[in-house]
Amino acid sequence: MIKLKFIFWLSGMLLSSVLARGEESSPWPTNAPALVELKDQFSKPQKLAFPNAKVTLLAIADKKGSTEVKGWIAALKPRYAERIDIHGLADMGGVPGFLQGNVSKKFQATCQYPVMMDWSGKVCKRFRYREDVANILVIDGNGAIRERVFGAATEAGVARISHALDAALQAQNN
């Protein structure tokens, strides 16, 4: 009887700690923030705003996850480039202020397309992204997140994102 009470007590403690973190009860936001304004690695302002006339493909990554983004863009850009907006968002929250200039310069040398630099990490946290992997999101014109895939581009992952992009484009054209 005591063992059974202990098991129930322990189960309750584990469940309450999970719910207190809020991660399991509502793992992902269903809508993108209405407005994101950040500077890119070239110090030029970039904006992600909803509602938007186009469907958006958003790639979010930290340093480790950034190595996986290129595969996604290579797989999706040829098919969708003219019909969707493609944005990159980098979690730079762990970079100390005195290193930000050097990090921006290195980023400029390796990435020619604009990527929003989130130096505080707060914007990335609003999307509840997964660290250490690429986070690929399909966001419709109203700001609803239609699909979310994590990690390196795979055939199945690209198919999921393509299906979500096609559905969002179809809905937007109707």
The predicted-structure confidence for 22-77, as pLDDT tens digits, reads as follows: 333 346 668 898 899 999 999 999 999 999 999 999 999 999 999 999 999 999 99
Q: How much is the mean pLDDT over the chain?
A: 86
- 31-173 classified as CATH 3.50.50.60: no
Per 3-state DSSP, what percentage of the chain is helix, strand, and coil (rounded to 5)? 40, 25, 35
Considering only CA atoms, which of 63, 37, 58 is closest in space to residue 122? 37
What pLDDT, on the 0 to 100 scale, is given for residue 28?
A: 63
Q: How far apart are CA 143 and CA 174, in angstroms?
A: 17
For the chain, domain boundaries: 1-28, 31-173
Considering only CA atoms, which of 149, 147, 126, 127 is closest in space to residue 138? 147
What pLDDT, on the 0 to 100 scale, is given for residue 41?
A: 95
Q: What is the pTM of this model?
A: 0.82
Place of tokens 């340093």: 63
